[in-house]
Structure 1
Amino acid sequence: MCYPQLFEKKNFKIGIEYDHSLPMSGGSDRYRHRNNYDPFFVTVTASAKKGYVISYLEVSAITDASGEVSFEVIRGQTGSRNIVFQLVSNHSDFLAYSYMAYGISEEEYKKVTSVSLASG
C-alpha cells in the first residue's frame, strides 16, 4: 500500500526589501541523507551583480514531516556583495532548498542607510 508522504517547508528571510530591489542570484538543489539521524550541512554563497549589494535574501527549505532544518548566516550581511549561509537538516531523508538574493545599487544602498542612521 502506498501512503502519502508529508513534507515540512520552512521559509527564512534576512534583510530589508527596498522599492528598487532586483533579483541578483538564486538557485535550488535537493540532497538525499545517508543517515537521517546525523546532521546534514549545506553551505551556499549568494552573490550580487557588479555595482550592487544584497539587500535581502529569501530561502525556502523542505524536509519530510519529521525533519528539522535550521538556517544560519556564516559570512556577510545585507549591504555586502556576498552572503554565505548554511542550512542544517536532521531527522529527514532529504533536504531540498531554493533561494533568491535581491539587491540594489551600492550608491542607493549608501543613501538609504545614511538617511536611516541620521534619523535614528
Structure 2
Amino acid sequence: MYKFVLFCAFIVLVGSYPQHFATKKFKVGIEYDGSLPMKGGSDRYRHRNNYDPFFVTVTTSSKSGFVISYVEVTATTDIDGDVQFNLIRGETGSRSLVFQLVSNQSEFLSYSYLVYGIKEEEYKKVTQVSLINSLPTL
C-alpha cells in the first residue's frame, strides 16, 4: 500500500509541474496611419526530434487594391526552445509576403500572425512624398 501511495504522489507531482513557455514577437515593415488588418492565421506543430531544426513557411497576400505595410508574428516554444524569423520574399508595399519560422530545441512551435495593409493609392502617395523629401537641395 505504501508503494501505491508513493507512486500516486509521484504522478501528482509530475503532472502538476508547471510548464514554462518562451514567446517571441516579430514585426516587419512600416506601420502607416490607416493600416488595416488584412489576413491572419495560427497553427501549432509538434517536433519529431527536439534537436533538429524545424521549419514553418507561411505565404500570405493582401486583399485586392491593397499592399502589405507590415506583419506581426508571435511564436511560442517551450522555455528551452529557440525560434528565428526569416523574411524569404516580399517587402513593404508588395502584395504578398513569404516568411519562415525556424525552431530548435523545443517540443513544439505555436505561432500566430496578422498582416496589415494600406490602399495601394495611399502607399504610392506616401512613398512619393518621402522620395521628394529625401532629394538633396541645391
Unaligned runs of 5+ in 1: none
The within-5 A match list for 1:88-99 is: 88-99=102-113
Of 14, 18, 25, the match for 1:4 = 18
Does residue 37 of the first structure (1) align with residue 51 of the second (2)? yes
Structure with the higher strand share, 1 or 2: 1
Aligned partner of 1:118 in structure 2 is 132
- Distance across 1 between alignment mates of 2:31 and 2:107: 34
Partner of 1:74: 88
AA matched with 2:94: S
TM-score for the superposition, normalised by structure 2? 0.85
User: How many residues are paired up?
Assistant: 120
What one-letter code is carried by the residue in structure 2 that aligns with 1:116? S
Relative to total residues, which structure has the larger helix share, 1 or 2? 2
Q: Distance in 1 between matches of 2:116 and 2:58?
A: 15
Q: CA deviation at 1:118?
A: 1.3
What residue is the counterpart of 2:118 in the other structure? 104
- CA RMSD of the aligned region, Å? 0.6
**Greater length-normalized contact order (CA 8 Å, ≥ 6 residues apart):** 1
Larger radius of gyration, structure 1 or 2?
Answer: 2
Asked whether 1:57 is paired with 2:102, we answer: no
Please report how far the alpha carbon of residue 102 of structure 1 lies from its aligned counterpart in structure 2 after TM superposition: 0.2
TM-score if structure 1 supplies the norm length? 0.98
Q: Which residue identity does 1:119 align to in structure 2?
A: N
Q: Deviations over 1:28-59 (max 9, x none)?
A: 00000000100000000121000000001000
Could you tell me the percent identity over the aligned residues?
A: 71
State how far apart, in whole Å, the 1-side matches of 2:124 and 2:85 are.
Answer: 27
Q: Secondary structure at the match of 1:74?
A: strand
Inter-partner Cα distance in structure 2 for 1:26 and 1:47 = 10
The runs of 4+ residues in structure 1 deviating greater than 2 Å are none
2:50 pairs with 1:14: no
Q: CA deviation at 1:114?
A: 1.0
Unaligned ranges ≥5, structure 2: 1-12
* 1:78, distance to aligned residue in structure 2 (A): 1.0
